[in-house]
Amino acid sequence: MDSKCCNKFCYASLSHPSIKDAIALHNFSILKLSVLVSEFAQQMAVAHEAFSKEIQTIIASFRRRNYDLKKQRPTETPNCIFNTWEALLQETEMDAQAHLDAASLLHKNVYLPLQEVASHKNRQADMLALFRDNLDSVYVESLREEQKVEKEYHSAFQNFVCLPKDPGEKEGEAVRGRLHRSHNDYILNIRATNKMADEYNKALPRILEAVGQDNTTLTFARPHQDFKPAVALAADDQKNLCRQIILDRLTEESVLRKRSSLQAKAMEMAVSLKHNQDIISTLSNVCQSTNLFMRQEPKKMRTIGYSDVFPNYNHVRIRSGS
């Protein structure tokens, strides 16, 4: 399957329609579970840490009392009770340190990674909402531009109709050239606006689905813009040109200039797209290296934690889709 075809589909579009709600509910429940486990790990870490500090406080108090007691007894007299007491204090200190280590591991290996996942999901939702706002703004701006060029076309047509029967050659060419150029601008703008509407109608349902909103209604669909003739009586003649670009001596220069400008913009977009694809490829490679390290050194990862080896592990993993 070629890359062009692959870009048309995603996991959600390839799944059966009957299980889309179940998938969405599953993803939502998993995110809620992540938050729940994260809160549990945080509270358990706090409890372990508090318990460890309380034990250490008690041990410190009894060590001072034990030190005073040592001064009172003969040092040369061995006593198994004192030896057992010393061992009990040491074992209790080790227990306190174990609780402190457990708190540290819970915080580092459970709470922080899950909290980062939840934070990333929230940032992702905010970015998608911002993207939708920008998409709406671009579409509204394209409609304004379409209305502007439509007025210019109608004005140029009226000027052409109002020409005297025997106008001067220069005057006639100027008016006709303006009409043809405004006609071309109008046609190109309609095509661009309609293409924008098509892409908008494709992208918005995916955005709504990604942020967990209802995407089943069609109230957000953007309609196509139609060619509007300047004069109703001349509608048939104008409709014959509604899908055609006029290319003649008067419009050739402007058409070529516009084509060059669009080609330059397309080149800039291609370079930007290639740059973003390289970034995604790099993130994917980093994530694969991370997963390989995790499989090869599972004990080490459990001991030192993900954030020690890969500070941005969750950020990279989520962005690369692994």
Both tokens of 17, joined, read 């329609």
Query: pLDDT value at position 26?
Result: 76
Using CA atoms, how far apart are residues 140 and 145, in angstroms rounded to an integer? 9
Backbone angles phi, psi at 176, to 5 degrees: -65, -40
The string of pLDDT tens digits covering residues 41-84 is 999 999 999 999 999 999 999 988 888 887 777 666 677 888 88
Query: pLDDT value at position 67?
Result: 84
Query: pLDDT value at position 321?
Result: 43
Give the residue, 207 or 68, on which the prediction is more confident. Answer: 68
Query: pLDDT value at position 268?
Result: 93
Query: pLDDT value at position 211?
Result: 62
Using CA atoms, how far apart are residues 197 and 44, in angstroms rounded to an integer? 52
Is residue 300 very low, low, confident or very high in pLDDT (cuts 50, 70, 90)?
A: low
Q: How far is CA 169 from CA 163, 166, 175, 177, 178, in A?
A: 12, 9, 10, 12, 14
Are the CB atoms for 229 and 239 separated by under 8 Å? yes
Query: Poorest-confidence range of 12-26, 127-141, 191-205?
Result: 12-26
- pTM recorded for the entire structure: 0.55
Average pLDDT of every residue of the chain: 77
* Ranges of each domain in the chain: 18-250, 252-322
Give the residue, 320 or 220, on which the prediction is more confident. Answer: 220
Are the CB atoms for 101 and 53 separated by under 8 Å? no
Query: pLDDT value at position 213?
Result: 55
The string of pLDDT tens digits covering residues 141-187 is 888 888 898 899 888 888 888 877 776 677 778 888 888 888 888 88
Q: Inform me whether the pLDDT recorded for 1 exceeds 80.
A: no
The string of pLDDT tens digits covering residues 252-268 is 888 888 889 889 988 99
Give 94-154 as a 3 state SS string.
HHHHHHHHHHHHHHHHHHHHHHHHHHHHHHHHHHHHHHHHHHHHHHHHHHHHHHHHHHHHH
